């Protein structure tokens, strides 16, 4: 069997007999023990590879990775160098409390997510060596024959070959809230995933009926596995609060350095010794730093996270709770899927002619009507009427190059 090339197959486009031949499987008897062992070694368990997280030490050290904390640490070191042990101890105490609170909250969220993942184990009913068996879903391999019935969670990507009023809820994968009626017929090679009715995908839920299918992909090779890999490569975005704190820290740093420099210059002009005026400038800089701000922000966010936890919402990063509070509008489509709420015309067919339209989103200056020759109201009256109807009177004439 072609271990790696299986992923690239268009299973929805192939007859089921050809699928069985390619997967070296028997629809009447399933796989034997030796084939299962070999494929487990080749493909690995039917589980999405967990992304390697940061260790406890790294997570704790990252709590200090904030511009304001850098300023506090620097001021604490300077005050300690000057012998101001009480002030230095207070500053380092605030920094430590801030880091401990943030670390404990993140560790609590990580442990909760890990416990949730351990409880989400599923089983699958398969046909092996002619016998119907119930096994952990992690032991499935490509070529296994899987039985589906109402209430089952689809354990892997399947090419269906027998259905009986089978309906599957695929909202977790496609966003479509209504269950999809499945069949076992052939579909075109370019059929989009949401319309492949002869396929059942991992993580979706059987809501009605029964069916059988042959496993075509497991673990990271499944469609939901591909989504997991894409998510793992997403960049971490700064929240509104972290951006504001970062901006405030930068401004504060420049102001403090400017005042300290100004103090030193004035002192030198007045004839004071450099050591004396330098200590005065350092004292001014330390006094200008709001030592209690990080602790106050962290405690406030921790209270918000605690209240969200009472509503059964797990928040890993403290600043995320502020992001939720800053949200004023959530755009969704009819299925409840999050969306940017942007729809853009891509093509206009009017008067028997097709016009391509460029541009996306809300920007009104990006839209252009592409035509082989100049477009005007006299040469394209049907297009003009179409634009009038679509623009509700706001586009009463066709400007040069079709911009509207």
Return the sign of the alpha-carbon dihedral for residues 12, 16, 17, 22.
positive
Strands 205-217 and 145-149, sheet pairing: antiparallel
∠42-154-184 over CA atoms, to 5°?
95
| Residues tagged active-site | 333
Distance CA(111)–CA(388), nearest Å, equals 58
DSSP 236: P
Which long-range contacts (C-beta less than 8 Å, at least 24 apart) are formed by 310-315? 314/109, 314/112, 314/113, 314/116, 315/105, 315/109
Whose structure tokens read 């809820």? 169
If 0-12 CB within 10 Å is exposed, 13-18 middle and 19+ buried, where does residue 90 land?
Answer: middle
| Residue 48 phi, psi (nearest 5) | -75, 130
Which segments within 218-358 are labelled E, that is strand? Answer: 347-350, 353-358
């Amino acid at each position: 069997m072609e271990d790696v090339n299986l992923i690239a197959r268009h299973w929805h486009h192939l007859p089921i007999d050809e699928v069985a031949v390619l997967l070296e499987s028997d629809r009447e008897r399933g796989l034997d023990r030796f084939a299962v062992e070999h494929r487990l070694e080749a493909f690995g368990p039917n589980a999405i590879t967990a992304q390697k997280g940061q260790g406890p030490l790294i997570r704790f050290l990252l709590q200090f990775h904030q511009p304001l904390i850098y300023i506090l640490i620097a001021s604490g070191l300077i005050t300690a160098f000057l012998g101001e042990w009480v002030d230095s101890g207070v500053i380092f105490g605030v920094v430590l409390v801030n880091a401990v609170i943030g670390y404990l909250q993140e560790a609590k969220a990580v442990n909760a997510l890990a416990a949730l993942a351990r409880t989400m184990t599923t089983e699958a009913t398969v046909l092996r060596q002619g016998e119907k068996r119930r096994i952990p879903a992690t032991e499935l391999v490509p070529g296994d024959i899987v039985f589906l019935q109402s209430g089952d969670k689809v354990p892997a990507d399947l090419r269906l070959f027998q259905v009986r009023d089978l309906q599957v809820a695929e909202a977790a994968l496609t966003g479509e809230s209504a269950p999809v009626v499945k069949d076992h017929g052939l579909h075109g090679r370019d059929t989009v995933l949401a319309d492949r009715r002869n396929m059942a995908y991992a993580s979706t839920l059987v809501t009605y009926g029964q069916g059988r299918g042959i496993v075509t992909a497991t673990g990271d090779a499944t469609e939901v596995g591909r989504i997991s890999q894409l998510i793992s490569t997403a960049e971490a975005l700064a929240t509104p609060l972290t951006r504001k704190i970062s901006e405030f820290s930068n401004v504060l740093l420049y102001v403090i350095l400017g005042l300290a420099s100004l103090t030193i210059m004035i002192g030198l002009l007045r004839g004071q010794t450099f050591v004396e005026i330098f200590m005065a400038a350092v004292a001014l800089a330390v006094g200008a730093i709001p030592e209690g701000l990080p602790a106050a922000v962290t405690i406030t966010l921790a209270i918000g996270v605690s209240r969200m936890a009472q509503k059964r919402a797990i928040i890993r990063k403290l600043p995320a709770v502020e992001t939720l509070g800053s949200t004023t509008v959530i755009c969704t489509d009819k299925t409840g899927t999050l969306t940017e709420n942007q729809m853009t015309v891509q093509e206009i067919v009017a008067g028997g002619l097709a016009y391509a339209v460029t541009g996306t989103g809300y920007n009104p200056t990006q839209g252009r009507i592409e035509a082989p020759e100049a477009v005007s109201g006299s040469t394209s009256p049907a297009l003009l009427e179409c634009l009038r109807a679509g623009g509700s009177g706001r586009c009463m004439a066709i400007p040069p190059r079709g911009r509207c």
